[in-house]
């Protein structure tokens, strides 16, 4: 670990005395400290020096602290203060002594369905609140879910969210474990990205395993782009909820509010926060874990304080594979021995009295002459013979009419198949439902021309007569992970390194980035379309390498500078597919930005309009706005 900014005993802002460094993360150094004014233990998080060197990061950090201090939710860690000391930028947050969910899950331990549902419910509620307040985390992990002294779960590091995004170049395996499919493709995180991450965390807490257990960051990211999480018996009644929260297409994924609602029924009987004394005088809530196992809140080297520390959590060992409880376990099993009023409703429903639901009855025989039901009798009255003849005539008429109906297709067992190729699965589902056709997905296949979740082919083809249709769905292009260590290389070395993974790169003389950390003439930034430093790009793509122009005037902040060079006239993008747009963007030297319903995703299929119009003269490397469907 590199030397920390502050040592033990240092007093920040004449008030916060540093006790010990806890860890150094991707964004900040984390210290245990004491508030000398209020005599309480707090946590100080100091922005890493390499990030604090950038003016935009400092401003955003200050803004996040101010906005974060106004947040009020029982499942979000409180922000008390922030400031600057000896050139370092810091914030002060509450101390949560119960350790993290990552600590709790360590050592091969898992949670019960009821307990995982309660944690998920509380965190989903906090994510919904954050989304409404304009916060997106983008990097939610078990280590950022902390317990207070009463066992309540809290989201930490809200004010640090997104600060390092534009300056992060290397990703480790653990850092990509909880990224959403859209983030894996280099797109910006949204509130639904946080829902996806939470679902992966709940899956891991229940099974003791990662949903996508790849051995490399590239494999983990590739596996989740179009694949749902696996079905596991341990998920119990959460199986369908987690499936809805991890749909690869974010437009079809449930949001935090919907996830909270779906989990609320399972946690109905678990005590609320208001039922736990605020002074911590009671015993921490019994989460119902089945076997004693101590989990430390922090490393043993961290000093203890006089504050009360919760009793160790109780956890249960992972079940043997042969002891699977099945996909539809008894409600008592999945709730750790509790009665399952929080899982299923036992209310009995009374049948609806409605004439429309009554069984159709044959009309009563007319009063007077009785129709003889024994047609086999040899001694029939004459009236019965007449009735038999009439019945025969009626049957013949019905058969003839039925044949005519069948010929005209009114009773045909087949339906004309609609055209589905190029449609999204959502569109195809609506079309086939309306047409009365059963839709079946036979396989998925990568495609560089068909957007992810759109249909590549169908069987039978449109116009055929059938009651069912099978389709092949696109998984989008095969993605290639950007190699680590590109930043800081010269153009030739970086280009050669990217070439080894099938990517081509150029270093335009018109694209330079002022940088206080990257030497002059070295790679400071990698660009793909509108993405800066993406984790991965489609296989075979061309990327732009922006070289450093050295320190900017006035202190080394990073700014983009572009030489004013007239470029070719803006090409016509209207009517083009994503693949065609990418190719034309590279060849013309213009970047593009999408707007519209499916902007920023792989869901759009065609450019509807553009601004500025085709033929306009712009500077080289300018951005063209594309309105997509």
Q: What is the pLDDT of residues 90-108, one digit of tens each?
A: 999 999 999 999 988 887 7
Q: Which of 168-172, 295-299, 389-393, 512-516 has the lowest mean pLDDT?
A: 295-299
Q: What is the pLDDT of residues 10-60, one digit of tens each?
A: 999 999 999 999 989 889 999 999 999 999 999 999 999 989 999 989 999
pLDDT of residue 562: 39
Q: Is it the case that residue 488 has pLDDT exceeding 80?
A: yes
The arithmetic mean of pLDDT across residues 565-586, rounded, is 77
CA-atom Rg of the chain in angstroms: 32
Tracing tokens 């003439």 back to the chain, one arrives at: 521
Q: DSSP readout, 137-178? A: -S---GGGEEE-TTS-EEE--GGGTTTTGGG-----HHHHTT
pLDDT of residue 268: 62
Whole-number Cα distances in Å, 419 to 429, 432, 439, 469:
12, 10, 12, 10
Distance of CA 554 to the CA centre of its chain: 40
Average pLDDT across the chain, whole number: 75
Q: What angle do CA 61, 191, 260 make, to 5 degrees?
A: 120
Q: Which of 135-149, 521-535, 596-610 has the lowest mean pLDDT?
A: 596-610
Alpha-carbon gap, residue 34 to 154, rounded angstroms: 21
What sign does the dihedral 507-512-513-515 (CA atoms) show?
Answer: positive
| Torsion region of 198: left, alpha or beta (phi above 0 gives left; psi -120 to 50 gives alpha) | alpha
Work out the percent of the chain whose per-residue pLDDT is above 70. 71
Read off the tokens for 29.
């150094």
Set out the domains of the chain in order of their start, with CATH numbers: 101-114+172-347 (1.10.510), 415-474 (3.30.10.20), 478-563 (3.30.10.20), 566-629 (3.30.10.20)
Alpha-carbon gap, residue 235 to 325, rounded angstroms: 10
Confidence of residue 307 (pLDDT cuts 50, 70, 90): very low
Work out the widest C-alpha separation in the chain, in whole angstroms.
Answer: 118
* 8 A C-beta contact, residue 184 and residue 224: yes
Whole-number Cα distances in Å, 227 to 68, 255, 441, 554:
35, 19, 13, 48
Alpha-carbon gap, residue 551 to 368, rounded angstroms: 110
Q: What is the pLDDT of residues 491-512, one digit of tens each?
A: 888 988 998 888 888 888 777 8
More confident residue, 95 or 611: 95
More confident residue, 270 or 581: 581
pLDDT of residue 170: 59
The pTM assigned to this predicted structure is 0.49
Whole-number Cα distances in Å, 192 to 135, 136, 180, 338:
12, 9, 9, 32
More confident residue, 166 or 417: 417
Confidence of residue 581 (pLDDT cuts 50, 70, 90): confident
Alpha-carbon gap, residue 288 to 62, rounded angstroms: 41
Q: What is the pLDDT of residues 195-221, one digit of tens each?
A: 999 999 999 999 999 998 877 777 788
Confidence of residue 281 (pLDDT cuts 50, 70, 90): very low
pLDDT of residue 504: 87
CA-nearest of 167, 135, 144 to 52 is 167
Alpha-carbon gap, residue 334 to 355, rounded angstroms: 41
* 8 A C-beta contact, residue 473 and residue 451: no
Q: Is it the case that residue 561 has pLDDT exceeding 80?
A: no
* 8 A C-beta contact, residue 527 and residue 482: no
Tracing tokens 């949001």 back to the chain, one arrives at: 255
Read off the tokens for 382.
């004459």
* 8 A C-beta contact, residue 263 and residue 121: yes
Q: Is it the case that residue 615 has pLDDT exceeding 90?
A: no
Q: Which of 64-73, 170-179, 496-505 has the lowest mean pLDDT?
A: 170-179
* 8 A C-beta contact, residue 421 and residue 457: yes
């Amino acid at each position: 670990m590199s030397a920390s900014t502050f040592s033990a005993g240092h007093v920040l802002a004449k008030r916060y005395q540093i006790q010990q460094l806890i860890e150094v993360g991707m964004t900040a150094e984390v210290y245990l400290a004491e508030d000398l004014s209020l005599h309480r233990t707090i946590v100080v998080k100091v922005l890493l020096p390499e990030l604090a060197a950038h003016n935009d990061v400092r401003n955003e950090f200050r803004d996040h602290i101010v906005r974060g201090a106004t947040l009020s939710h029982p499942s979000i860690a409180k922000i008390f203060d922030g400031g600057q000391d000896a050139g370092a930028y810091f914030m002060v947050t509450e101390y949560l002594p119960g350790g993290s969910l990552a600590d709790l899950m360590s050592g091969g331990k898992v949670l019960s369905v009821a307990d995982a549902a309660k944690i998920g419910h509380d965190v989903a509620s906090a994510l919904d609140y954050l989304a409404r307040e304009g916060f997106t985390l983008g990097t939610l992990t078990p280590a950022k879910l902390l317990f207070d002294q009463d066992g309540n779960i809290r989201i930490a590091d809200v004010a640090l969210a997104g600060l390092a995004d534009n300056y992060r170049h290397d990703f480790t395996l653990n850092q990509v474990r909880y990224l959403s499919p859209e983030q894996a493709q280099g797109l910006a995180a949204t509130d639904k990205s946080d829902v996806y991450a939470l679902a992966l965390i709940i899956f891991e807490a229940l099974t003791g395993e990662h949903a996508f257990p790849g051995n490399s960051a590239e494999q983990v990211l590739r596996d989740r782009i179009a694949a749902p999480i696996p079905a596991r018996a341990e998920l119990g009644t959460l199986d369908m909820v987690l499936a809805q929260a991890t749909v690869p297409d974010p437009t079809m994924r449930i949001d935090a509010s919907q996830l909270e609602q779906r989990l609320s029924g399972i946690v109905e009987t678990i005590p609320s926060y208001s039922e736990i004394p605020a002074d911590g005088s009671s015993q921490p809530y019994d989460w119902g874990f089945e076997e004693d196992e101590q989990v430390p809140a922090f490393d043993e080297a961290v000093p203890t304080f006089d504050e009360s520390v919760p009793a160790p959590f109780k956890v249960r060992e992972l079940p043997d594979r042969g002891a699977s409880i099945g996909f539809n376990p008894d409600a008592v099993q999945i709730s750790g021995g509790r009665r399952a009023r929080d899982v299923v409703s036992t209310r009995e429903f009374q049948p609806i009295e409605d004439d429309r639901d009554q069984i159709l009855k044959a009309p009563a025989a007319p009063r007077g002459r009785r129709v003889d039901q024994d047609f086999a009798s040899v001694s029939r009255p004459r009236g019965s013979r007449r009735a038999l003849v009439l019945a025969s005539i009626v049957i013949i008429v019905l058969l003839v009419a039925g044949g005519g109906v069948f010929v005209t297709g009114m009773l045909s067992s087949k339906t004309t198949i609609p055209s589905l190729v190029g449609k999204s699965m959502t569109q195809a589902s609506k079309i086939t439902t309306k047409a009365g056709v059963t839709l079946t997905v036979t396989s998925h296949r990568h495609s560089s021309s068909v957007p992810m979740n759109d249909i590549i082919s169908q069987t039978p083809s449109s116009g055929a007569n059938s009651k069912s249709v099978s389709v092949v769905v696109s998984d989008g292009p095969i993605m290639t992970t950007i190699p680590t260590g590109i930043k800081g290389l010269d153009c030739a070395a970086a280009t050669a390194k990217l070439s080894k993974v099938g990517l081509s790169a150029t270093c335009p003389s018109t694209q330079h980035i002022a940088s206080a950390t990257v030497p002059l003439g070295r790679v400071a930034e990698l660009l793909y379309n509108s993405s800066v430093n993406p984790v991965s790009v489609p296989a075979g793509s061309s990327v732009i390498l922006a070289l450093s122009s050295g320190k900017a005037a006035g202190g080394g902040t990073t700014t983009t500078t572009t030489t004013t060079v007239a470029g070719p006239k803006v090409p016509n993008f209207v009517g083009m597919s994503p693949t065609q747009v990418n190719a034309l963007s590279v060849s013309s030297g213009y970047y593009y930005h999408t707007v519209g319903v499916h902007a920023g995703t792989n869901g759009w299929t065609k450019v509807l309009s553009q601004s500025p119009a085709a033929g306009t003269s712009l500077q080289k490397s300018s951005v063209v706005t594309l309105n997509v469907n």
